[in-house]
Amino acid sequence: MFSKPKPGETVPQPTNANPTEEKIKPSDLRPPTMEKRATAPVPAATPKPKPAASVFSTDLTITGNVHSSGDIQIEGTIEGDVRANTLIVGETAVVKGEVSAEEVIAHGRVIGRLRGVKVRLSSTARVEGDIVHKTIAIESGAHFEGSVQRQDDPVGKPQQPQAVRSQQQNTAATAAAE
pLDDT score recorded for residue 27: 58
Whether residue 84 lies inside any domain: the answer is yes
Whether residue 80 lies inside any domain: the answer is yes
Total domains in the chain come to 1
Q: What is the pTM of this model?
A: 0.61
Q: DSSP letters along 114-178, please? A: EEEEEEEE-TT-EEES-EEEEEEEE-TT-EEES-EEE-SSSSSSPPPPHHHHHHHHHHHHHHHH-
Query: For residues 89 and 70, is the Cβ–Cβ distance under 8 A?
Result: no
pLDDT score recorded for residue 163: 46
Whether residue 136 lies inside any domain: the answer is yes
Whether residue 68 lies inside any domain: the answer is yes
| Nearest CA among 135, 117, 139 for reference residue 127 | 139
Per-residue pLDDT of the chain (178 residues; tens, 9 = 90+): 556 666 666 666 655 555 555 566 655 555 555 555 555 565 666 677 777 888 999 999 999 999 999 999 999 999 999 999 999 999 999 999 999 999 999 999 999 999 999 999 999 999 999 999 999 999 999 999 999 999 999 988 544 444 444 455 555 444 445 5
Count of other CB atoms within 10 angstroms of residue 72:
22
Whether residue 125 lies inside any domain: the answer is yes
Count of other CB atoms within 10 angstroms of residue 146:
14
Whether residue 40 lies inside any domain: the answer is no
pLDDT score recorded for residue 140: 96
Domain that holds residue 86: 54-150
pLDDT score recorded for residue 164: 45
Whether residue 66 lies inside any domain: the answer is yes
Whether residue 3 lies inside any domain: the answer is no
